Amino acid sequence: MKLLEGKIAVVTGAARGIGKAIALKLASEGASVAITDLAYNDAAQAVENELTAMGVKAKAYASNAADYSDTQKVVDEIVKDFGRIDILVNNAGITKDGALKRMTEDQWDAVISVNLKSVFNFTRAVQPVMWKQAGGSIINMSSVVGVSGNANQCNYSASKAGIIGFTKSAAKEMGVRGIRSNAIAPGFIETEMTAALPEEIRKSWNEKIPLRRGGTPEDVANVTLFLASDLSAYVNGQVINVCGGMNT
Ligand code: NAD
């Protein structure tokens, strides 16, 4: 018996990177998977095809996670298509880094909307579904930067720290209905997001990591699987760092 047989999962921002790895990992344990991303483009379609080829039901949806009504619409469609939602992974996220003295209002607003408001949007829309089912697992993608801060990322770290507060509050509010909320705080993970960083920064990150390597999307997906499954049935309101020991 696979860990997630019969479960329905929603993963936001899953056309590439960590979200894609999570979608594939959940499917490998038998979950049906709805993925969202900004557009239904070649990348999203390729993930949808890969999931379907694994023998699970899968569908990709175009949805802007930062938009409240767009989110309600896509969650309604997913429930219509899949019947229920057992696992929600709030993964969509962006960076718009810069020194605080030069950070624009747009840089601030965009990162807070995509990273933090999206978590409210999706959790708000999915919560009545899980409440009716009397169960569910919500996993929010924070960051070590939300735990410890980082220069030139005031907007990003505020959004990721906000996710931690949201997660702990949701855990206290919805635990009574068997709905668990946890956050993952990845460290330096090799994806297109971090590939955009200058080489010397990437190198200096690796030197700071006790395990002496960046993480892989699969490293994060494995912890997501744990939190999505009943293996973590008594884990609620927690933040798990997946950072090779960088953040202790
Ligand atoms: P990525 O940029 O490779 O992928 C992010 C995906 O989210 C993309 O497919 C993008 O199109 C999608 N997306 C962006 N805005 C969206 C929106 N408004 N609505 C829907 N989808 C949207 O990033 P990644 O490295 O895979 O990161 C995934 C998550 O993990 C993010 O929340 C990120 O902050 C977090 N994280 C990443 C790292 C890392 O080192 N890569 C570390 C800590 C946390």
Judge whether residue 248 has pLDDT over 80.
Answer: no
Q: Which two tokens mark 7?
A: 């479960």
Ligand 1: atom nearest CA of 113 is: 18
Distance 2 CA to ligand 1 centre (A): 27
Q: Which H or E element spans position 34?
A: strand 32-37
Ligand 1 centre from 13 Cα, in Å?
A: 6
Atom number of ligand 1 nearest to Cα 217: 26
Determine how many CB atoms are found less than 10 A away from the CB of residue 105. 7
Question: Is the Cβ–Cβ distance between 86 and 8 less than 8 Å?
Answer: yes
Task: Please state, for a pLDDT cut of 90, what percent of the chain lies above it.
Answer: 93
Q: What is the pTM of this model?
A: 0.98
pLDDT digits (tens, 9 = 90+) for 147-166: 999 999 999 999 999 999 99
- Dihedral of CA 5/15/226/162: which sign? negative
Ligand 1 mean position, distance from CA 71 (Å): 17
Position with higher pLDDT, 240 vs 195: 240
- For the 8-238 domain, the top CATH level (class) is alpha beta
162 lines ligand 1 (CB under 6 A): no
Using the predicted structure, report yes or no on whether residue 27 has a pLDDT greater than 80. yes
Average pLDDT, the chain: 97
State the pLDDT at residue 197. 85
